[in-house]
Amino acid sequence: MSAAEAADVFHRARGRTLDAFSSEKEREWKGPFYFIQGADTQFGLMKAWSTGNCDSGGDEWEQEIRLTEQAVEAINKLNPKPKFFVLCGDLVHAMPGTPWRKEQTRDLQRVLKAVDQDIPLVLVSGNHDLGNTPTAETVEEFCQTWGDDYFSFWVGGVLFLVLNSQFLYDASRCPTLKQAQDHWLDQQLSIAEKKQCQHAIVFQHIPLFLQSIDEDDDYFNLTKTVRKELADKLTRAGIRAVFSGHYHRNAGGTYQNLDMVVSSAIGCQLGKDTHGLRMVAVTAEKIVHRYYSLDELSRGGVEADLKELLKE
């Protein structure tokens, strides 16, 4: 599927917003709703991980295709429908400029094309989508293929912010792009700080932390200096939760009033969790969530859980 064809299928973020939602109509609180969060479809990693060759392996991704198809089918059956489905990065495994990237991207777009058109897709960039050290060229490639790398949108009185966490990890080859996101984020957080929204929620690929704000630096979190500075900025603005992926395991913790939620993968598991998705309910007072295996969702019968989560 070409980028032009993908544009016909996905409501891609453009101009730092998501055209699937009208910001004017969506700024008002209209009652509880829910959305689905997934992460790390990462077509190609399961083969690469099994062979111990994560850098240049990954020449097969049939398992990831089947798992993502299962996720899409389960989401499409949910009643009522979720407001949107957000994928928190590492859409494919092949890094920019490496073999199989084009083929993995084509196959993922084909699978995502089956998502119910009444359930907008929100696509977040990860390190495998942009490279561990992104450049202006890799960011542009992502934007052309999947939409803006950072943007905001409103749903039912809630402000959602999508960040490019690679700028927080290593922006040494694109410092001006990082500065632009920093400036944009300050503008967005001022809206939240003035209490002009019911809640404000952030999506990014790399977690601030896995369990604790004071944990050691790790491949799977942001450095202490960066995470503390950003966490303080978010909590001052009243951000309630950050949803991430990257870890391929479920994890998370709290910092002040901020909930850091790390969801395991649709694709390759690196721990004891199962391939799955997270159901996130937003009520007037709280944000509650539960992780389900794809098999649980496929069997159905989660409506009772959903009703409980959406209770005011």
Q: What is the dihedral of CA 290, 293, 297, 298, to 10 degrees?
A: 180
H-helix segments, the chain: 3-9, 23-26, 45-51, 62-77, 101-112, 127-130, 136-146, 166-169, 175-193, 224-236, 294-299, 303-309
The pLDDT-based confidence of 4 (bands split at 50, 70, 90) is low
SS3 of the chain: helix, strand, coil, percent, to 5: 35, 20, 45
pTM of the model: 0.97
Pair of tokens at residue 140:
């542009």
Which helix or strand (DSSP H or E) is residue 251 part of?
A: strand 251-255
Enter the CATH code of domain 3-310: 3.60.21.10
Q: With 90 as the cut, is the pLDDT of residue 180 above it?
A: yes
Residue found by looking up tokens 């990014």 in the block? 204
- Model confidence pLDDT, tens digit, residues 7-33: 456 778 999 999 899 878 999 999 999
Q: Kindly list the domain boundaries of the chain, sorted by start residue.
A: 3-310
Q: What angle do CA 111, 41, 251 make, to 5 degrees?
A: 145
Q: With 60 as the cut, is the pLDDT of residue 172 above it?
A: yes
Task: Round the average pLDDT of the chain to a whole number and report it.
Answer: 95
Report the distance separating Cα 101 and Cα 106, nearest Å.
9
70-103: buried (b, 16+ CB within 10 Å) or exposed (e) per residue? bbbebbeebeebbbbbbbbbbbbbbbbeeebbee
Q: At what angle do helices 101-112 and 62-77 cross, to 10 degrees?
A: 20
Residue found by looking up tokens 């699978």 in the block? 111
The pLDDT-based confidence of 247 (bands split at 50, 70, 90) is very high
Strand order from edge to edge, sheet including 33-38: 121-124, 85-88, 33-38, 276-282, 287-293
Count of positions (residues) in the chain:
312
DSSP state letter for 43 = B
- The average pLDDT across 114-119 equals 96
Poorest-pLDDT segment among 17-31, 37-51, 125-139: 17-31
The whole-number pLDDT of residue 5 equals: 56
Name the nearest CA neighbour of 122 among 167, 91, 165: 91
